[in-house]
Amino acid sequence: MLLTRGNRPRKQADDFSGRRKFLLIFIMSCMTVLVGRAVHLQVFKKDFLQEHSRYVDTVSISSYRGIIEDRNGEALAISSPAPSITINPKEFVKDDESVIALMEKKFKSEHGAEKLSESQIQEVKSAYRQEKQIKINELEKLLDLPRGRVNAVLDEKKGKGFAYLAKKVSPGLAEQVKDLKFAGVDILREFKRFYPSGEVAAHLLGFTDAADVGQVGLEKSYEAMLKGADGKKRVIKDGLHQVIADVESVASPIPGKNLELSIDQRIQYLAYRELQNAVRVNKAKAGALVVLDSKTGEILAAVNQPSFNPNSKADLKEILYRNRAFTEVFEPGSTVKPFVVAAALEGGYIRPSDRFVTDGVFPVGSNIVRDTHNYGILDVEGVIKKSSNIGVAKMALKMPVDYFCGTYKKLGFGDSPATGFPGEASGRMSVAKRMRDFDRAILAYGYGLNMSAIQLARSYTALADDGILHSVSLLKRDEDIDAQRVFSQKTAKTVRTMMETVISKEGTAYEARVDGYRVAGKTGTAKKAGAHGYSANSYFAVFAGLAPASNPRLVVVVMIDEPSAGQYYGGLVAAPAFSKVMGGALRLLGVTPDQENTMPILLARKTP
């Protein structure tokens, strides 16, 4: 029978409808099977999946932090491997079940039993727990943990996947822990920053945190340079997110760059020792000491008291790691008087032969400038030698305000020394437009402005290097491209010669002399300012000097904060420390003496 045109579509539609039903039923059946399988695995076989599933992941590889070293290559800060011991409470507890199951199987085999009684099961579990506790006790003993600490961590972190047992242990100890073969106890590769010089360079270097990231000092300011870049690798992890195998390296870690400082560790130690002694002997609150290379502006030493040990930061307070040499300011007192003399000579406002009446009292407006003694009539050199406030005040008043203050500004007063040290102070200086005559007078002997020890030391390079002021650097360099002339060579040498008289018996700092070397310097004794004005009993004792005076190589500044052992003058408190540091540093650097030795040196001792 032939089908009509109208019947064909109906037959095809019926056939299609049957195939469609079959496909839908088949697809739904497959989906049901897949959903059922997924539910079975995710719900009923979850532990199995976690134990046997595998996946590829990318993890980071920590880079080594760069070394900080002194100018001679001595390591001042170095990162060494310091693994941490961790525990995975989930894995640790999970291992109990698998080991107990094996022990039960072994027990059945040994006793020929098909099934264990409840008492036998408890016997197996008790034996296992005893063995495990013995290993836990051994682990606690290795890590010097109190008895019960591991179980306490397991209870505290129950259900978690990670907890520390001990941080940054020695590699040898980590190997001993590894030999225990404790499931769930892992060795985490980490680094610990070590500072070989301890307290000696602590304020300069600062320290890092537990993640080896710089927190203060040079560790912080050069963090980007020191930290390097972490690498990456692909690994295979199990369902518990633990690495079970390496696949390939994606990017190798790039170690941090080493940082070469201008510091000479030998001079740093010498300065630390002598400052510590000066603070102790004078029963002072604190102190700072700076040594500069007067030809390059490099900082060869910068120390503070009190200090701290960066290798042990327990209960460390901010006041201990504050770097006073860079971040704290003080009124410099008479240490600025040579600059007043230099400015007046340079501008032609005085001559070396000029004489000044210094009879103890000098009225300036409604105020009075005083000297500690009536020095009578002094020439310019005598004003420096006797440290006359009246003498330099009269010199300052001879100069125009803009010129006088401009000289101070050229010396860097009131501006940051730009060493790159975090938190370095800029200091403060009065504004010239608002300045009265008395303001100018007290500026001449170091009041009305403040500065850090680094700033004061920097200003002295203008006298040490024949009128050239240097920038200061904590990094080793061969020359100072930012040096600038402040005084003429003639003026600098003239003032330097005058400053040598300060170290004479008639001067204010005979204790600053250095055997075999000519020394030029200036004392400073400034009252401390407080909430209610200047204190009558609290002082900054300061000495700034350079040597050898014929061709200065070093500048040293010593500041002692609140000496309380009886003496407080800079020439008696700070000058002795200057003498020992300057003398020792010149000899360490092999600087040739510039005068005949006036003190006998015992070269050899004859035996009877």
Are 516 and 397 contained in the same domain? yes
Residue found under tokens 């200065």: 552
CATH number, domain with residue 71: 3.90.1310.10
**Residue range(s) defining the domain that contains residue 495:** 265-309+323-588
504 found inside a domain: yes
More confident residue, 548 or 50: 548
What pLDDT is stored for residue 88 in this prediction? Answer: 78
Are 275 and 249 contained in the same domain? no
Are 108 and 253 contained in the same domain? no
Are 346 and 217 contained in the same domain? no
Provide the pLDDT confidence category of residue 602 given band limits of 50, 70 and 90.
very low
pTM attached to this predicted model: 0.80
pLDDT digits over 304-315, tens only?
999 999 998 777
Are 256 and 279 contained in the same domain? no
Are 286 and 241 contained in the same domain? no
pLDDT digits over 498-532, tens only?
999 999 999 999 999 999 999 999 999 999 987 77
Is residue 161 within 8 A of residue 89, CB to CB? The reply is yes
Helix (H) / strand (E) element for 153: namely helix 149-156
What pLDDT is stored for residue 172 in this prediction? Answer: 86
| Cis bond before residue 548 (omega within 30° of 0) | yes
569 found inside a domain: yes
Provide the pLDDT confidence category of residue 470 given band limits of 50, 70 and 90.
very high
Percent of the chain with pLDDT over 90: 57
Residue found under tokens 């978690």: 160
Are 557 and 428 contained in the same domain? yes
Q: Is the pLDDT of residue 469 over 60?
A: yes
pLDDT digits over 189-236, tens only?
778 899 999 999 999 999 998 788 999 999 999 999 999 887 777 767
16 found inside a domain: no
580 found inside a domain: yes
Residue found under tokens 């500065």: 451
31 found inside a domain: no
Main-chain dihedrals φ then ψ at residue 423, nearest 5 degrees: 80, 15
User: What whole-number distance in Å separates Cα of residue 45 and Cα of residue 294?
Assistant: 77
What is the rounded average pLDDT of the residues 85-113?
68
For residue 97, the one-letter residue type is: E
Give the C-alpha distances (Å, rounded to integers) separating 268 from 183, 204, 292, 540.
Answer: 49, 10, 11, 22
Residue found under tokens 């697809």: 27
What pLDDT is stored for residue 574 in this prediction? Answer: 98
Q: Among this protein's residues, is 334 annotated catalytic? A: yes
More confident residue, 405 or 120: 405
What is the rounded average pLDDT of the residues 340-357?
97
What pLDDT is stored for residue 514 in this prediction? Answer: 97
4 found inside a domain: no
Are 183 and 217 contained in the same domain? no
What pLDDT is stored for residue 3 in this prediction? Answer: 47
What pLDDT is stored for residue 11 in this prediction? Answer: 52
What pLDDT is stored for residue 176 in this prediction? Answer: 86
**Helical pair 453-464 and 337-346, crossing angle rounded to 10 deg:** 40
Cα dihedral value 150, 156, 157, 163, nearest 10: -50
Are 178 and 304 contained in the same domain? no
* Tokens representing residue 113 in the block: 């039993």
Q: Catalytic: which of 294, 334, 388, 452?
A: 334
User: What whole-number distance in Å separates Cα of residue 339 and Cα of residue 242?
Assistant: 68
* Domains in the chain, number: 3
Are 361 and 386 contained in the same domain? yes
Q: Is the pLDDT of residue 16 over 90?
A: no
343 found inside a domain: yes
When mean pLDDT is compared across 128-132, 340-344, 556-560, the lowest value belongs to: 128-132
What is the rounded average pLDDT of the residues 594-600?
59
Q: Is the pLDDT of residue 175 over 90?
A: no
Q: Mean pLDDT score of the chain, rounded to an integer?
A: 86
Are 500 and 425 contained in the same domain? yes
Beta partners for 246?
235
When mean pLDDT is compared across 316-320, 336-340, 379-383, 452-456, the lowest value belongs to: 316-320
471 found inside a domain: yes
CATH number, domain with residue 484: 3.40.710.10
Is residue 544 within 8 A of residue 455, CB to CB? The reply is no
Are 528 and 397 contained in the same domain? yes
Angle at 361 between CA 358 and CA 367, to 5 degrees: 130
DSSP secondary structure of 279-305? HHHTT-SEEEEEEEETTT-BEEEEEEE
What pLDDT is stored for residue 154 in this prediction? Answer: 78
